[in-house]
């Protein structure tokens, strides 16, 4: 709850009780940023991130996972083999200022034009 209170003055916050509710709210609200924990009932943060990043209209959503389990054995099975599609993972303890700074950094990065993969762009012949 401390994180929410520290971020409410900067962003509109939508809270979910679990990962399943979070996924439903993300689909309905289409936020620019999702901050989630890794361990949640219903659907964990990895699964939530996977749903977001593979969804046609949501895949550009910034996903920030804040968790105390980066070095813990409580990680979902196969976590390190699967990797994560999250834009960033922060290890607890973190402050609202840490989260706010990371959100701002990630939004700036998302706003920068990304180069096209080789062979995917079109061109016009000049002259």
Q: Is the dihedral of CA 2, 103, 9, 58 positive or negative?
A: negative
Which pLDDT value is given to residue 54? Answer: 93
Per-residue pLDDT at 5 exceeds 50: no
- CATH fold for domain 2-111: Rossmann fold (3.40.50)
Q: Among residues 103, 118, 13, which one has the least CA distance to residue 65? A: 103
What mean pLDDT, rounded, does the chain reach? 79
What is the tens place of the pLDDT at every residue in 72-90? Answer: 555 555 554 455 688 988 8
Structure tokens at 60: 């550009």
41-65 per-position pLDDT tens digit: 999 898 999 999 999 999 999 999 8
CA distance 114 to 92: 30
**Mean pLDDT of all residues in 84-100:** 87
- pTM for the model: 0.76
> H or E stretch including 25?
helix 19-29
Q: Which residues of 75-91 are buried (b: 16+ CB within 10 A; e: fewer)?
A: beeeeeeeebebbbbbe
Q: How far apart are CA 84 and CA 50, in angstroms?
A: 8
Position 6 pLDDT exceeds 80: no
Q: For residue 100, how many C-alpha atoms fall within 13 Å in the half-sphere facing its CB?
A: 15
């Amino acid at each position: 709850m401390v994180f929410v209170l520290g971020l409410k003055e900067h962003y509109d916050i939508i809270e979910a009780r679990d990962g399943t509710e979070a996924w439903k709210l993300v689909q309905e609200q289409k936020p620019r940023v999702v901050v989630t924990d890794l361990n949640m009932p219903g659907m964990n943060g990895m699964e939530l991130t996977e749903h977001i990043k593979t969804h046609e209209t949501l895949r550009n959503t910034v996903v920030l996972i804040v968790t105390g389990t980066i070095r813990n054995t409580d990680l979902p099975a196969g976590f390190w083999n699967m990797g994560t599609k999250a834009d960033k993972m922060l290890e607890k303890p973190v402050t609202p200022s840490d989260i706010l700074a990371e959100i701002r950094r990630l939004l700036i990065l998302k706003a920068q034009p990304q180069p096209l993969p080789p062979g995917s762009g079109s061109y016009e012949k000049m002259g």
